[in-house]
Structure 1
Amino acid sequence: MQNSLLTKYSSAVPRYTSYPTAPHFHDGVDCGEYAQWLTALTGRERISLYLHIPYCDRLCWFCACHTKHTLKYEPIAIYLESLKKEISAVGALVSRDAVVTAVHFGGGSPTMLRPEDMLDLMAALRAAFRFADDVEISVEMDPNDLDEPRYDALAAIGMTRASLGVQDFHPEVQKAINRIQTFEHTKTVVEAVRARGVHSVNCDILYGLPHQTEATLTETVKDILSLAPDRIALFGYAHVPWMKKHQTMIKEEVLPGLEARFAQMSLAASMLVAAGYEPVGIDHFALPSDRMAIAAREGRLRRNFQGYTDDAAEALIGLGASSIGQLPQGYVQNMPATGEYQRMADAGGLAAVRGVEVSEDDRLRRRVIEEIMCRFTVSFKDLRSEFGDAVDAIISEARAFAQSNQDRICLFEDEHFVITDTGRPFARTIAAVFDSYLSNGKGRHSIAV
């Protein structure tokens, strides 16, 4: 039965970190439109900032992020000057009454930055925006970049959450994905950031990697659990060589098949739950005391371009090449090409080139999809209180899908659309039922399991 469900519901669909999704962004949202959106922020909103550092000193073949390989620091230094110009320009448009409650440094490898540049970049942010006293500052970390001066600089900028990519510790798997990183080195990083007062550590694990087996994944999960991270993300490797050419370095014949991927995911998830971690959404696990676990229990879990989050900010501002922001009016993305981004930022500060303004129907469907992805249930009573009679169309779609589905992956009952335990691994596929854009064929996606 499980194999037939896998075949039936593991179609290629979006990850739904936004709705509408990025393939439906268009050039009708540009710097002028973006500037109007920023100035429209009233000052009552909470703001999150995302800063993209699109450089790595090694190129991991599994990676689907927007980044480029460099062994020289000069391109990074030049990029940072342009980034600071964008920070200044955006900050000048945003009300100083608006408070920044979260900052996320992503990449690429933000930990490639020299210590003095980390401090300088944070100074630029604090000069441009008003920070909350308890601002959360998270940094994606490559253990191979780190040394004592960088640890000290990260502490000095106020890092509160360290996010470490682990993937898999098995040497054959690491060689196949060009990501050599020992458990001992990773343990050293965790101990170093905790010694400097970082209260939250996240580790990422991947399943579905080349040469990966249930045995290798079991050992990786055991090693990760020995570090007692506060959060663990369990992602399926997304093989998208048509979008990321370096993934062609990974031979498809050594990738686990669909059934093997699902078995790996199920095994790792059961190990994490047995160790006391609470499932959060479709692919995160957190200790009961962690903020994300608490948000999930209280129904406050959110989903944005960083994935699952407890961040309740009304506006997410993306800074840097390819960064995506989410404002009340819609989504906006910066120029992805690093050189062209720098030219735009140097010329006028803003570098927005595409996006989408959300309609009322988009807002409604976005809420439905987020409820499915975060809580596995949709309350039509709650939706109706916010969206009124427009919910009737969604109710009809939900009832029709639930009644036609013979596999009981979802149910329609008592003004609720409920994803069953059987259906939870296929939440992305179920969410896609409510995606009115998907049928137009724009964009190619990874499989849902």
Structure 2
Amino acid sequence: MTDPVLLKYAARNTPRYTSYPTAPHFHAGVDGATYAGWLGELTPDHRGSLYFHLPYCRVLCWYCGCHTRASLKDGPIDRYLDRLEMEIDTTAALIPHRQKVDHLHWGGGSPTLVPADRMRRIMALVRDRFDLQPGAEIAIEVDPRTLDDARAAALGDTGFNRASIGVQTFDPDVRRAINRIQSFEVTKACADRLRGNGVSAINVDLVYGLPKQSLESCIETVDRVLELEPDRLSVFGYAHVPHMKGHMRLIETGDLPGTEARIAQAQAIAERLVAAGYAAIGFDHYARPGDPLAERQRTGHLHRNFQGYTTDAADALIGFGASAIGRLPQGHVQNTADIAAWEKTVAAGDLPVARGCAYEGDDLFRSEIIERLMCDLEADLGTLARKHGQPVPNPDLSELEADGIVRRDGDLVVINPVYRTLARIVAAAFDKRLMAGNAKHSVSV
């Protein structure tokens, strides 16, 4: 029988809190000129992180909520990469020093579409313009269907040490229903190819709540994934938003699991991974106990950004590419998602920022409360209030307390680990910008 508390809250729409303020509150009042000013205020004491977005795939997966498009031709990708190099130059020139970088991440789309020689060239440019630190985490999202020997060798040669492999599911019926044909054999060959070239840290992405997905197929997928011996796993609930992503209309709504089935799938995956020795991280990640992610969680130094749970504690996350989001000490910025507009702006030597949000009032205070709840499943409101010079917030948690989701001991708010998947619900209580019933956000489980 499904836990009635989970059933009560699972379908509620809440932000994923990869930022605060969240992306729906970004606005055009923050533009390229704003961003240029913020970059100019960075100092050598600020630690940096870089994100590069490639919004292209060979074939569009129907479940995908990312900013991407399909291209069977190399021409658009080559032109995009030309502009990406220009954006790197323009942005780096606005920082008064050679920015130290501890984390670098390529996402998409399918960044493994970047040809081997081009990846070497871009990474050489990045190392010239930025000061990548010894021991920096250099990561990339990988589509196993596009990673050949040459590309894998280029990743190893240019210093990549972590890769996230998109799996989602191994069920052939589900794969056909989401237009992602990818076998276990192809995936295993990809993992072996990466490790053979020195990209030794492997993450795997899984998705539940997909069309035609069953409890049994989720368990079977996890069992096959465990054969790959990943260091980390991300387990996401599919968000069906055809009003935002038109290609999702190709998915038959009647094939989607209901709320009870989604809960059962999420729980079964969690139980399987914990039984296999993985530590639960936040509400949807898992890691080997010796992995840096698990170590950071144990010491209270885990963080959350647009890639999910992370060890990245950078003061400045600098984004490159169409739709890329950045976070600086002053606030957030996001590049235009329109590739043509992005290319035109970059070619003119300008920053392609379309919107953003400057921190104001108690934003940083609430941001840290939400991050600690999402990462640690608890937050000491008194300690954080003193740190930020703010009064202790007192949102109405009575319903959550009555349902056993959270308890409050003085200024300490603690989420019941049984209900870790509802961490977003608790965090939302401290989000003063959240509008009730905002359908722009995904369901909680």
- Structure 1 residue 88 and structure 2 residue 89: aligned? yes
Contact 1:53–1:108 (8 Å) recurs in 2: yes
Distance 1:202 1:404 in 2: 33
Which position in structure 2 is the counterpart of 1:328? 329
Tell me the SS of whatever aligns to 2:417.
coil
Which position in structure 2 is the counterpart of 1:438? 434
Contact 1:410–1:420 (8 Å) recurs in 2: yes
Alpha-carbon shift at residue 422 of structure 1 (Å): 3.8
- Structure 1 residue 56 and structure 2 residue 57: aligned? yes
Tell me the SS of whatever aligns to 1:288.
coil
- Structure 1 residue 423 and structure 2 residue 419: aligned? yes
- Structure 1 residue 40 and structure 2 residue 36: aligned? no
Aligned partner letter, 1:250? I
- CA deviation string 1:29-53 (max 9, x = no partner): 1111000000100111110000000
Alpha-carbon shift at residue 157 of structure 1 (Å): 1.3
- Structure 1 residue 229 and structure 2 residue 230: aligned? yes
Contact 2:284–2:421 (8 Å) recurs in 1: no
Aligned partner letter, 2:206? I
Distance 1:417 1:73 in 2: 52
Tell me the SS of whatever aligns to 1:348.
coil
Contact 2:92–2:130 (8 Å) recurs in 1: yes
Tell me the SS of whatever aligns to 2:348.
helix
> 1:395-414 maps to which residues of 2 (within 5 A)?
396-397=394-395, 400-402=396-398, 405-414=401-410
- CA deviation string 1:360-387 (max 9, x = no partner): 3111111111111111111123213312
Higher helix share: 1
TM-score by length of 1: 0.96
- Structure 1 residue 248 and structure 2 residue 249: aligned? yes
Contact 1:85–1:349 (8 Å) recurs in 2: no
- Structure 1 residue 8 and structure 2 residue 8: aligned? yes
Distance 1:180 1:349 in 2: 40
Alpha-carbon shift at residue 227 of structure 1 (Å): 1.0
Which position in structure 1 is the counterpart of 2:444? 448
Distance 2:34 2:438 in 1: 23
Q: Which moved more, 1:354-363 or 1:50-59?
A: 354-363
Aligned partner letter, 1:432? A
Tell me the SS of whatever aligns to 1:184.
helix
Which position in structure 2 is the counterpart of 1:123? 124
Tell me the SS of whatever aligns to 1:206.
strand
> 1:249-288 maps to which residues of 2 (within 5 A)?
249-288=250-289
Tell me the SS of whatever aligns to 2:326.
strand
Contact 2:32–2:350 (8 Å) recurs in 1: no
Alpha-carbon shift at residue 79 of structure 1 (Å): 0.6
Change (3 A) 1:404 1:278: closer
Alpha-carbon shift at residue 405 of structure 1 (Å): 3.7
Distance 2:84 2:152 in 1: 22
- CA deviation string 1:141-190 (max 9, x = no partner): 00110111111111111110011010000100000000111001111111
Alpha-carbon shift at residue 333 of structure 1 (Å): 0.4
- Structure 1 residue 143 and structure 2 residue 144: aligned? yes
Alpha-carbon shift at residue 6 of structure 1 (Å): 3.1
Contact 1:6–1:258 (8 Å) recurs in 2: no
Which position in structure 2 is the counterpart of 1:70? 71
Residue segments in structure 1 that go unaligned for 5+ positions in a row: none
Distance 2:355 2:89 in 1: 21
TM-score by length of 2: 0.97
Tell me the SS of whatever aligns to 1:418.
strand
Aligned partner letter, 1:180? I
> 1:289-304 maps to which residues of 2 (within 5 A)?
289-304=290-305
- CA deviation string 1:318-354 (max 9, x = no partner): 1000000000000000011001000000002411110
Q: Which moved more, 1:76-85 or 1:127-136?
A: 127-136
Contact 1:39–1:93 (8 Å) recurs in 2: yes
Distance 2:30 2:400 in 1: 39
Contact 1:315–1:326 (8 Å) recurs in 2: yes
Aligned positions, number:
444
> 1:164-203 maps to which residues of 2 (within 5 A)?
164-203=165-204
Residue segments in structure 2 that go unaligned for 5+ positions in a row: none
* TM-align CA RMSD: 1.4
- CA deviation string 1:45-71 (max 9, x = no partner): 110000000000000000000001100
Contact 1:240–1:445 (8 Å) recurs in 2: no
Aligned partner letter, 1:322? S
- CA deviation string 1:14-35 (max 9, x = no partner): 1110111111100111111000
Aligned partner letter, 1:8? K
Alpha-carbon shift at residue 133 of structure 1 (Å): 2.0
Tell me the SS of whatever aligns to 1:83.
helix
Distance 1:26 1:88 in 2: 26
Contact 1:3–1:259 (8 Å) recurs in 2: no
Tell me the SS of whatever aligns to 1:439.
coil
Tell me the SS of whatever aligns to 1:45.
coil
Tell me the SS of whatever aligns to 1:360.
coil
Distance 2:106 2:156 in 1: 14
Tell me the SS of whatever aligns to 1:138.
strand
- Structure 1 residue 19 and structure 2 residue 20: aligned? yes
Which position in structure 2 is the counterpart of 1:381? 382
- CA deviation string 1:378-408 (max 9, x = no partner): 11232133123x232x1x21xx314774212
Tell me the SS of whatever aligns to 1:219.
helix
Change (3 A) 1:404 1:98: closer
